[in-house]
Structure 1
Amino acid sequence: MSPTAEEIVRVAAHWIDRGIRLDTRTLAAELGISRTTLFRRVGNREDLLGDTLWYMGDRTLKAAQRDWQTKHGSAVRDPDGQLRCLEVMRRYRADIAGNHGFRQFLNDEPAVAIRVLTDPQGRVQPRVMTAHVELLRRDVEDGGFVPVVSLENLSYAIVRLGEAFLYSDVLASRAPDLAAASTLLGALVEGRVTAPEPTVGL
């Protein structure tokens, strides 16, 4: 049976996860279809990359949510006071940064990767924005925090700032600093920054 668009995306995600360059000719051959059929079902290579990267990101985000549920149930904050949405977002960024296949794709094709990942009209960023709005909305509805701007604007700021840190090695030749990203995003959401305790000399 000829593969569906969803099945093509899953195979493509497996390729990226293993660090294999996504070549549409080779992928079509592996799937037993022509490139024309491949393009008809999933679009061109960048369209396929967009759907594939979102598929991987969505699975990562859902895994972070399941992990919170396992550890803390329906609580909006953990025992240390960390807000659920912020911890889920932190875990999401950490797992993406730690995916070796994704990092290889980013290193091998930086211009393509950034274009696909950050295009506001593309197949990744709008979905990421929507997913972040829903994370924020759930915590607002459960009494976790009171936003000072619309959830859409807050999500936009979170996603764009997160991208700036997550892809900083490509965007600005800086090593990604996910701890700094989490601190700044916490300030955006909760309106405050928790500074480390000062060290008292003896």
Structure 2
Amino acid sequence: MSSSEDLIVRTAARWIDRGSRLDTGALAAEVGVSRTTLFRRVGNREDLMGDALWLMSDRTIASVTHRWDKANGPAVRDPAGMLRCLWVMREYRAAIAGNKGMRVLLEEEPTVALRVLTDPHGRVQPRVIAQHVDLFARDVADGGFTPRVDLDTLAFAVVRLGEGFLYADVLADRTPDLEAATTLLGALVDTDRGL
């Protein structure tokens, strides 16, 4: 990604994070390019939204992982016995659910937001799945986790189930229940502990 593309995506992520509607014309003016140039560099509005949401997701996972490493070092389980990957995923979902800008986006543009967030060929979900594969692989490599299925399949299942709970209010007119998500994902991932 070029520096101008990076600036556009970072600016879009800031807009979403603060709860502002992603207006490509106004955003182009803010970063000092024409709307045509913006489209040439980052694609259409949904492409830009996807890259911005991915950047927000990536930063959130990095922040949460850093918190784990600072508190627990290289340990694969916390003092209560929770796998590092499950702890990171729980904290990640909580951060996403608590993000004001994400809530505004889901309330004001639910169809677009869900399409961008959950498109299997889009700019968010495939990257989130790959990121989850990396989380699982780290726990496998450090000797604390032996999955029952391949990591790609497990990551796909975990991300899709997590989305179902995280976006339950939009997908199924249900209140998001992150505690239930943590319990179910724990049972799915850490089968030896019977969570």
TM-score (norm 1): 0.93
Q: Deviations over 1:9-63 (max 9, x none)?
A: 1111111111110000111111121100000000000000000000000000000
For residues 3 and 55 of structure 2, the distance between their equivalents in structure 1, rounded to whole angstroms, comes to 17
User: Which residue pairs with 1:190 in the alignment?
Assistant: 190
Q: How does 1:103-142 map to 2 (within 5 A)?
A: 103-142=103-142
Q: Does the CA-based 8 Å contact 1:184-1:193 persist in structure 2?
A: no
Q: Does the CA-based 8 Å contact 2:129-2:155 persist in structure 1?
A: yes
Q: Does the CA-based 8 Å contact 2:17-2:102 persist in structure 1?
A: yes
TM-score (norm 2): 0.97
User: Which residue pairs with 1:90 in the alignment?
Assistant: 90
Are 1:54 and 2:51 an aligned pair? Answer: no
Q: Deviations over 1:143-195 (max 9, x none)?
A: 1121110000000100000000000000000000000000000011111543x
Q: Does the CA-based 8 Å contact 1:15-1:22 persist in structure 2?
A: yes
SS at match of 1:4: helix
Q: How does 1:25-64 map to 2 (within 5 A)?
A: 25-64=25-64
Gaps of 5+ in 2: none
- The offset of 1:141, in angstroms, is 1.1
Q: Percent identity?
A: 65
Tell me the amino acid that sits aligned with residue 27 of structure 2: L
Q: Does the CA-based 8 Å contact 1:3-1:31 persist in structure 2?
A: no
Q: CA RMSD in A?
A: 1.1
Q: Does the CA-based 8 Å contact 1:61-1:88 persist in structure 2?
A: yes
Q: Deviations over 1:50-90 (max 9, x none)?
A: 00000000000000000000100000011111100000000
Larger Rg belongs to: 1
Tell me the amino acid that sits aligned with residue 162 of structure 1: G
For residues 117 and 19 of structure 1, the distance between their equivalents in structure 2, rounded to whole angstroms, comes to 16
User: Which residue pairs with 1:172 in the alignment?
Assistant: 172
For residues 65 and 3 of structure 2, the distance between their equivalents in structure 1, rounded to whole angstroms, comes to 30
User: Which residue pairs with 1:198 in the alignment?
Assistant: none
Q: Which runs of 4+ in 1 moved over 3 A?
A: none
Tell me the amino acid that sits aligned with residue 41 of structure 2: R
SS at match of 2:7: helix
User: Which residue pairs with 2:159 in the alignment?
Assistant: 159
User: Which residue pairs with 2:65 in the alignment?
Assistant: 65
Q: Does the CA-based 8 Å contact 2:13-2:52 persist in structure 1?
A: yes
The 1:3/1:80 distance shift into structure 2, 3 A limit, reads closer
